[in-house]
Amino acid sequence: MKTEKKLSSASREPSLLYEGVVEEENRGSRLDAFLASRAELQEYSRSRVQEWIRAGFALVQGEVVGKPNHKVNVGDKVCLSGQLKQTRAQAEEGQLDILHHDKDIVVLVKQPGVTVHPAPGVEQGTLVNFLLHRFPELQGMDEWRPGIVHRLDKDTSGLMVVALQEGARQVLQKDFSQRNVNKVYLALVHGVPPERGEIDAPVGRHPSIKTRMAVTPKGGRNALSHYVRLWADSTGQLSLVAVKIFTGRTHQIRVHMDHIGHPIVGDTVYGKGMQKKWALRHPLAARITRRQMLHASYLQFQHPGTGESMRFFSPPPMDFMRLPLLMRPGCQRVAVVGMPGSGKSYLSGLLAAQGVPVFSADKIVAELYAPGADCWKLLRGRFGDRFILHDSDPVDKQGLFKAMVKEPSLRREVMDMVHPLVEHRLRSFWENCFDQRLAVAEVPLFLEGGWREKQLADLVICVDMPGATRRDLLEGKRGVSEDMAAVLDSWQWSREDKRSASDIVVENSGDPDQMYAKAKDLLRSLQQRRIRQARQLGERFRELCSCRQLPFVRETGGI
């Protein structure tokens, strides 16, 4: 029995898996390490490569080398063959998502994480194994790839057509090679690419990183992709694109989108640096993103037997659909405005007491007026000792204010100095609050500065107090005269304009207990808004991922 097994194993010829020449960057590398880093062998473990080396399947300069730790030299020609443990793919029970099948073909949705067909080191759990169990008639075809006429990467999901008999396979294979098949993919990519684009760039082996493909002007094979941007999130971090490929190069979409600076989310091979930075910023989204977010959504071809035009659509799986919800701006950015003395700071303080991060423009200005701070330097350079007597003194705020009242041109000049610095601080504040559900910025001149148009907040809350009550509080608590209050008011929009330009108005009667209750109500209201927005985004995204929205489907007549 042992002799029979040995002979049976020896009777199966190993397949050539890699042939190449050692380059300068690999001088002195171990043979197993060199081979394991080759793109052609990336799906095999290093231990499997070592097993093949010890079995005598590795050649260096035409000689068998059986030691994995053998050191290779520049210019060495290295070959490695692999031997499957089985003589052919074996039937194996597994889940198949079948959309259509007849005597000639089966159309299905491949799940992410499933390899299409067996190969050395991946002999079980493939799509072919499952197909053989469901369709025994495939046993009479190719030993390892029965019925396979096109492939998807292991971690790419979506539509595939498989031939159930040899005649159908030949027809389909010819149609694929002659580009008579319409394939449209949906992808989630980093950043916001232009609305529409054509990527005509040859794809070949990466010149220095052998585990990757790349756009290679010399030696690459022509590759053409068209894409349309369907959606982009408000922060500019994520976009949904539809991609139609006119050629079928290895990793074509992944390479092309990376080439234009917008790699696919979840792709740890292409755009690795961007993916790593994104994962740190969005840990929850990164936990569910264990593959590249690429889905073969639409497939159109002629039936190999009847000639009928066959069209199929598959919406992306759940991990793809959930990602934009997890990626949506996690922080609801709220600006608080109001007339001087209306209670902006009081409301902000109540929210801060509930754990809400709060930004205060007035506090930032005070910091900027401190000795050596940015605004201090600008004022010192522009006006000398007019508002700063000594280098160790802060800005004379009272003297500056009086001068701004008397000289409108000076006021505008100072505002032009201060506002960009406060705006920069506000942007940094929002950036630091990206993982918060809610953050608040109290900025008295938010509306007047045009910051709403700059999208520096998601919504604006106006704290409003009746004029007489507000004037009494200004005079009683702050010692602000009626004339001075009128000056402060004149620098801002009117009370009516602020109310009408705001999303929410919080009425302040001056009663602290009532304001405490209104702060609680406001938090509940803001939470309900976040929930509604999430639901609306989910509905919008499902619509965008429907067949009705695919541009290349509409251009070819739809389903």
β-bridge pairing 459-464 and 332-337? parallel
pLDDT confidence of residue 1: 34
Assess contact for 509 and 349: CB atoms under 8 A: no
Catalytic residue among 32, 104, 153, 267: 153
pLDDT confidence of residue 89: 82
To which CATH superfamily is domain 97-320 assigned?
A: Pseudouridine synthase (3.30.2350.10)
CATH class of the 332-536 domain in this structure? alpha beta
More confident residue, 121 or 284: 284
> pLDDT tens for residues 291-339?
999 999 999 999 999 999 999 999 999 999 988 887 765 689 999 999 9
Mean pLDDT of 271-296: 87
Boundaries of every domain in the chain: 11-82, 97-320, 332-536
Assess contact for 376 and 394: CB atoms under 8 A: yes
Does pLDDT of 211 surpass 80? no
pLDDT confidence of residue 119: 72
For domain 11-82, the question of CATH label 2.120.10.30 is answered with no
Q: Provide the phi-psi class of 174: left if phi over 0, else alpha when psi is between -120 and 50, else beta.
A: alpha
> pLDDT tens for residues 357-406?
999 999 999 999 999 999 999 999 999 999 998 989 999 999 999 999 99
**Closest by CA position to 342, among listed 463, 251, 179, 219:** 463
Does pLDDT of 39 surpass 80? no
Confidence of residue 556 (pLDDT cuts 50, 70, 90): low
**In the annotation, is 396 catalytic?**
no
In this structure, what token pair is assigned to residue 303?
């039936």
Mean pLDDT of 28-36: 92
CA angle 83, 85, 87 (to 5 degrees): 90
User: Which range has highest mean pLDDT (187-191, 397-401, 466-470)?
Assistant: 187-191
Question: Over the Cα atoms of the chain, what is R_g?
Answer: 33
More confident residue, 483 or 390: 390
pLDDT confidence of residue 70: 96
pLDDT confidence of residue 154: 92
pLDDT confidence of residue 63: 92
More confident residue, 124 or 504: 504
Proportion of the chain above pLDDT 90, given as a percent: 65
pLDDT confidence of residue 344: 95
58, β-bridge pairs: 80
pLDDT confidence of residue 71: 96
Distances (CA, A) of 500 to 228, 337, 462, 463: 38, 12, 9, 12
DSSP letter at 37?
Answer: T
Confidence of residue 483 (pLDDT cuts 50, 70, 90): confident
What stretches of 57-117 adopt beta strand conformation (E)? 58-60, 63-64, 77-82, 97-101, 105-110
Assess contact for 531 and 486: CB atoms under 8 A: no
Number of residues that this document lists for the chain? 559
